[in-house]
């Protein structure tokens, strides 16, 4: 084991996984140093869950190799399981048990004495704001409570390495922020986290490193800042009051943003890297006598990050179509 | 949520990696884990009124319905019929209960609970063993229930406690073997409802085409050999013999043999399907 490998909590090389005709993973490399957060970003069907399942020993890879905490996920699965906690994409709680019983069950399975398991369950319930609901069947929980219980269940064994598969999908903003705080607390305790998400913002908030995957391949990696610099993180949107002004707006935006804008009805959008062009746009439109009903700059959605990551050099004319499935060049 | 540090402190042994982690689960720990998982399956019932109704109301209803609706028509008076039918009813109930193992397993698989178990450092076989073990508890409960209702109505055991114990032992043995069918169905079915549909569409006709509810002699001659060959009939004969006087070794041995056959055929199929699904 080399020195660098020893410092890596998760190390995957060339992971390949096929399901019949579908290639879910097509040679994925991942490196997560101890005590850091890796954000795995990707749209539906990118292969995020598949990667998590391989790294958490639930699924065997068809090719490639991965170690977790220095142990091979395939040949030393039992050791790996002693190190990890898994919060899957869909909350895996037993709906017929109460919240407390769910946690007690995991504690007992992990070999805690009954009293110790009970104490651990109570501690986690209070950490996750579930004390009052602890005696109710988990089937009666709201989506957010279920997610929290699920996360609590994955922490019973105090894992050193935690997988979170889209942990905040379906949560309201407050619940999402609470969960982010919890994750930050874990990282402060030196837990290594691999987090998958569809939201750039979430990866930005939590992850030191981001890997963007699509169609089972890594298409970009770097720190959030590097990624933003690489992708141009904002979208300029202009909607003229009069539809006859659309061509004028288009020309102005094209010139200033240096890309061919996307026209959708009366709305003209373009990805931009430099927000300083906003006043220029306003001035030029004013000079041209165009009144606008909407003019704004918004943070790029994952969709737009993807566009700029994958659609640029290979297929410039495809530019801004919104059909994700076709976009990525093979 | 401000107290995270209190509960997530590092465990030195795991964090430093100096103490090597164990590489496998010993049989004693595995058994403990199975018992814990069995405990879980049993307390599930407490929070699930529909399960409780399935386990408890349905068998009682069946005993009452058959005794009073059909008893007179089939055997002249319901008292005679009760004595004839009740042991078979226990057999039928036992078969139905084996489907719950499939339903529970399927629900764990489809809801991701199984993935959670598989990500824990526990014995690979513990979740399955726990389910099957818990089912035995449900079996005993449903035997007590049917027998209890029967005795309130006037059913009398004629072979003493020993006969009863032997009958229960035989029932549990067969249930254990037959639960592999439930396991297989549970793994193959897309959702828990479908497991129940299977129970209805296969187990119902199979149990009704037996001598549980009607005496063999009353059947048309072409049907008689079919019904006679049905293992449910064999088992009903064996349990009748053990509970009432007149235990014959024939049906008992045949029941044991059927159990072995079911386990030998369905256990490997179920394990293979299991490996494939997870
Ligand atoms: N068990 C399976 N059988 C067949 N195909 C599968 C299976 N699991 C995943 N796939 C396929 O593999 C690809 C990657 O799926 P995966 O679940 O890893 O994506 P994901 O990035 O997690 O997507 P999402 O954001 O929707 O959760 C998809 O095309 C999916 O249909
Ligand atoms: Mg997924």
pLDDT digits 0-9 by tens, B158-215: 888 888 999 999 999 999 999 999 999 999 888 888 888 887 788 888 888 888 888 8
Q: How far is A259 from chain B (nearest CA, A)?
A: 46
- Co-location of A253 and A196 in the same domain: no
pLDDT at B89 over 70: yes
Low-confidence winner among A169-178, B6-15, B107-116, B121-130 (lowest mean pLDDT): B6-15
CB nearest A160 (choices: B6, B15, B40): B15
d(CA A87, CA A166): 9
Among A172, A205, A227, the domain-final residue is A227
- CATH number, domain at A193? 3.40.50.300
| pLDDT value, residue A56 | 95
A84 CA to centre of own chain: 19
Residue A311 lies in a domain: no
Please check whether residues A121 and A266 belong to one and the same domain: no
- By C-alpha distance, the chain A residue nearest B32 is A109
Residues A46 and A167 in one domain: yes
Mean pLDDT for the stretch of residues A24-30? 94
With contact defined as beta carbons under 8 Å apart, do A251 and A285 qualify? no
**Considering the domain boundaries, does residue A185 fall inside one?**
yes
Q: What is the pLDDT, as a whole number, of residue B177?
A: 92
- How do strand A161-165 and strand A8-19 relate by DSSP bridges? unpaired
Q: Is residue A316 part of a domain?
A: no
Contact A108 B117 (CB under 8 A): no
pLDDT at A119 over 80: yes
- As a residue count, chain B comes to 278
Tell me the nearest-neighbour CA distance from A122 into chain B, angstroms.
10
pLDDT at A77 over 70: yes
Closest residue by Cα to atom 25, ligand 1, is A44
What pLDDT is attached to residue A312? 36
Q: Is A115 in the pocket of ligand 1 (CB under 6 A)?
A: no
What pLDDT was estimated at residue B268? 94
**What would the two tokens of residue A328 be?**
């990525």
A152 and A266, same domain (yes or no)? no
> What's the pLDDT at A308?
67
**pLDDT at residue A327 greater than cutoff 80:** no
* Predicted model pTM: 0.79
**String of DSSP letters for B141-181:** HHHHHHHHHHHHHT---SSHHHHHHHHHHHHHHHHHHHHHH
Dihedral sign (CA A314, A224, A53, A146):
negative
Average pLDDT over residues B258-273: 92
Contact A211, A197 (CB under 8 A): no
Domain contains A306:
no
pLDDT band at A317 (very low <50, low <70, confident <90, very high): very low
pLDDT score recorded for residue B16: 44
The predicted-structure confidence for A10-22, as pLDDT tens digits, reads as follows 999 999 999 999 9
Q: Is A302 in the pocket of ligand 1 (CB under 6 A)?
A: no
Judge if A72 and A90 occupy the same domain: yes
Q: Which of A208, A227, A246 is the last residue of a domain?
A: A227
Sheet with A22-33: strands ordered across:
A22-33, A8-19, A63-68, A71-72
CB-nearest to B6 from A56, A111, A123 is: A123
Report the pLDDT value the prediction gives residue A123, as an integer from 0 to 100: 94
Q: Which domain holds residue A72?
A: 5-227
Looking at the DSSP bridge assignments, the partners of residue A267 are A264
Q: Does any domain span residue A207? A: yes
Helices (H), chain B: 4-7, 12-16, 27-46, 49-65, 71-75, 78-110, 113-118, 126-153, 160-188, 192-198, 204-208, 224-229, 231-243, 249-277
Cβ separation of B8 and A101 shorter than 8 Å?
no
Chain B interface includes A116 (CB < 8 A)? no
pLDDT, one tens digit per residue, over B125-166 is 899 899 989 889 889 988 999 999 999 998 888 888 888 999
Least Cα separation, residue B3 to chain A (angstroms): 6
* Gap between the Cα atoms of B133 and B35, Å rounded: 8
**Is A235's pLDDT higher than 90?**
no
pLDDT higher than 70, residue B3: no
Query: Rounded mean pLDDT of B36-52?
Result: 84
What integer pLDDT is reported at residue A306 of this predicted model?
61
CA–CA dist A249, A261 (Å, integer): 9
Residue A303 at interface with chain B, using a CB cutoff of 8 Å: no
Question: Given a cut of 90, is residue A42 above it in pLDDT?
Answer: no
Q: Is B277 on the interface with A (CB under 8 A)?
A: no
Radius of gyration of chain A (CA): 23
Residue A85: its H or E element? strand A84-87
Same domain, A17 and A92: yes
CA distance linking residue A90 with residue A203, whole number of Å:
19
pLDDT in tens, B211-234: 888 888 888 888 888 888 888 998
Which token pair is B142?
């449903």
Q: What is the model's pLDDT at position A311?
A: 52
| Per-residue tokens: B242 | 């053990």
- CB A238 within 8 Å of CB A281: yes
In the predicted structure, residue B103 carries a pLDDT above the cut 60: yes
Whole-number percent of chain A with pLDDT over 70: 87
- Closest C-alpha to A215, from A61, A46, A63: A46
Q: Is A219 on the interface with B (CB under 8 A)?
A: no
Choose one of A227, A246, A264: the last residue of a domain: A227
Residues A182 and A285 in one domain: no
Partners of residue A81 in chain B, C-beta under 8 Å: 119-121
Atom of ligand 1 nearest to the CA of A47: 18
Question: What is the C-alpha to C-alpha distance for residues B66 and A314, in angstroms, rounded to an integer?
Answer: 75
User: What average pLDDT does the structure give for chain A?
Assistant: 85
Asked whether residue A189 falls in the same domain as residue A250, the answer is no
Nearest to A193 by CA among A36, A26, A8: A36
CATH number of the domain that residue A262 is part of: 3.30.70.790
Does residue A312 form part of some domain?
no
Is the pLDDT at B251 greater than 70, yes or no?
Answer: yes
Q: Is A157 exposed, middle or buried (0-12, 13-18, 19+ CB in 10 A)?
A: buried
Are residues A157 and A251 located together in one domain of the fold? no
Residues A210 and A166 placed together within one structural domain of the fold: yes
Residues A82 and A189 placed together within one structural domain of the fold: yes
**Structural domain contains residue A178:** yes
Residue in chain B nearest A190 by alpha carbon: B10
Q: Does A42 sit in the ligand 1 pocket, CB within 6 Å?
A: yes
Q: How many domains does chain A have?
A: 2
A178 and A163: one domain? yes
pLDDT score, position A240: 93
Q: Is the pLDDT of residue B10 over 60?
A: no
Chain A CB contacts of B11 below 8 Å: 158, 160
């Amino acid at each position: 084991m080399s020195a660098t490998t020893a410092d890596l909590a998760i190390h995957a090389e060339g992971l390949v996984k096929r399901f019949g005709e579908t290639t879910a993973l097509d040679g994925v490399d991942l490196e997560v140093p101890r005590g850091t957060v890796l954000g795995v970003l990707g749209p539906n069907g990118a292969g995020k869950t598949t990667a998590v399942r391989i790294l958490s020993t639930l699924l065997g890879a068809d090719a490639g190799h991965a170690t977790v905490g220095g142990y091979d996920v395939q040949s030393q699965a039992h050791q790996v399981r002693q190190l990890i906690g898994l919060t899957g994409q869909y909350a895996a709680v037993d709906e017929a048990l109460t919240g407390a019983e769910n946690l007690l069950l995991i504690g007992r399975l992990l070999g805690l004495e009954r009293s110790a398991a009970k104490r651990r369950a109570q501690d986690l319930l209070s950490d996750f704001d579930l004390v009052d609901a602890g005696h109710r069947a988990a089937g009666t929980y709201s989506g957010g409570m279920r997610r929290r219980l699920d996360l609590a269940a994955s922490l019973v064994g105090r894992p050193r390495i935690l997988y979170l598969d889209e942990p905040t999908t379906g949560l309201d903003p407050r619940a999402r922020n609470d969960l982010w705080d919890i994750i930050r607390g874990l990282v402060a305790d030196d837990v290594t986290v691999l987090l998958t998400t569809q939201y750039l913002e979430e990866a930005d908030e939590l992850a030191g490193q981001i890997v963007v995957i699509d169609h089972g391949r890594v298409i970009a990696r770097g720190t959030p800042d590097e990624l933003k610099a690489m992708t141009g993180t904002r979208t300029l949107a202009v909607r003229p009051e009069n539809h006859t002004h659309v061509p004028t707006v288009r020309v102005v935006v094209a010139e200033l943003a240096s890309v061919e804008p996307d026209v959708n009805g009366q709305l003209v959008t373009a990805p931009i890297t430099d927000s300083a062009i906003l006043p220029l746009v306003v001035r030029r439109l004013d000079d041209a006598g165009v009144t606008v009903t909407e003019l704004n700059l918004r943070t790029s959605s994952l969709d737009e990050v993807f566009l700029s990551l994958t659609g640029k050099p290979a297929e410039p004319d495809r530019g801004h179509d919104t059909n994700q499935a076709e976009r990525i060049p093979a | 949520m401000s107290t995270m540090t209190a509960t997530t402190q590092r465990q030195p042994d795991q964090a430093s990696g100096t103490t090597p982690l164990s590489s496998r689960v010993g049989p004693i720990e595995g058994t403990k884990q199975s018992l814990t998982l069995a405990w879980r399956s049993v307390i599930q019932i407490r929070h699930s009124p529909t399960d409780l109704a399935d386990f408890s109301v349905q068998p009682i209803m069946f005993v009452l319905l058959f005794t009073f609706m059909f008893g007179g028509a089939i055997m002249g008076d319901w008292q005679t019929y009760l004595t004839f039918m009740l042991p078979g009813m226990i057999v039928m109930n036992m078969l139905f209960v084996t489907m719950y193992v499939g339903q529970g397993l399927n629900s764990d698989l489809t809801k991701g609970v199984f993935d959670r178990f598989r990500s824990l450092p526990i014995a690979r076989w513990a979740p399955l063993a726990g389910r099957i073990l818990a089912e035995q508890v449900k079996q005993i409960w449903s035997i007590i229930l049917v027998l209890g209702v029967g005795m309130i109505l006037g059913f009398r055991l004629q072979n003493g406690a020993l006969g009863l114990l032997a009958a229960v032992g035989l029932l549990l043995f067969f249930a254990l073997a037959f639960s592999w069918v439930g396991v297989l169905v549970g793994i193959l079915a897309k959702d828990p409802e479908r497991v129940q549909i299977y129970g209805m569409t296969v187990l119902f006709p199979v149990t009704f085409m037996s001598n549980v509810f009607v005496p063999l002699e009353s059947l048309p001659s072409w049907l008689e050999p079919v019904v006679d060959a049905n293992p449910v009939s064999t088992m009903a004969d064996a349990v009748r013999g053990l509970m009432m006087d007149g235990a014959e070794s024939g049906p008992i041995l045949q029941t044991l043999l059927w159990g072995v056959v079911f386990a030998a055929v369905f256990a490997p199929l179920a394990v293979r399907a299991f490996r494939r699904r997870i």
